[in-house]
Structure 1
């Protein structure tokens, strides 16, 4: 198979899982729960994009499903959480700005996958 064709197809097969959340932080218990949820995301390989938005690169849709299920298992009892998956191609079309200066879209780090 042609290498450039494989890379192009891979952009549609590999996925990004994004987790958006707005959790209550009024009490010490609320803050502990919110902090624990963020820690579980980090432990599962997510990276912080913004304070309440975390993202994770997955090599396949099946792998993305695993991480989405794990996130659902760890949902806090209160607050609003959204989980979305998009293709690497869609993620690559995102425009990111720091102030008025355009930034490069983050590329996935090399990840070892064990089957």
Structure 2
């Protein structure tokens, strides 16, 4: 039973990708606040405008998706994508032309 709860098909990763305007001082402030709020909500920067968060389940990913929707700035494009841990594991990541084997997955704690 414990194995099923943490299966690679149940655990999710939530990606938030965005392109926000930075033409005015207000735009820059909105973009900065959006990034800071993502970090406060447990997201990690993968690339400058791509943040991701490990979620224990599809239901947990939905909770965080709704939180992101509540943070949306008034202008710009924001994309939200949920993928299973299995799909995430198939991603190829390169840094300076060298492939990185894998990103570190946060440890999942189970409380009784």
Same fold per TM (> 0.5)? yes
Cα separation, 1, equivalents of 2:16 and 2:102: 17
Q: Which runs of 4+ in 1 moved over 2 A?
A: 110-114
Q: Deviations over 1:17-59 (max 9, x none)?
A: 0000000001111110000000110000000000000000001
Under a length normalisation based on structure 1, what TM-score does the superposition of the two structures give?
0.88
Q: 1:27 to 1:113 in 2, by over 3 A?
A: farther
Matched, 1:66 2:63: yes
Q: Which residue of 2 aligns with 1:49?
A: 46
| Correspondences of 1:1-115 after superposition (within 5 Å) | 6=3, 10-111=7-108
The number of equivalent residue pairs is 111
Normalised to the residue count of structure 2, the TM-score between the two structures is 0.91
Q: 1:10: Cα distance to partner? A: 0.8
CA distance in 2, matches of 1:112, 1:46: 18
Change (3 A) 1:40 1:112: farther
Greater fraction helix: 1
Question: CA–CA distance in 1 between the matches of 2:28 and 2:60?
Answer: 30
The SS at the match of 2:37 is helix
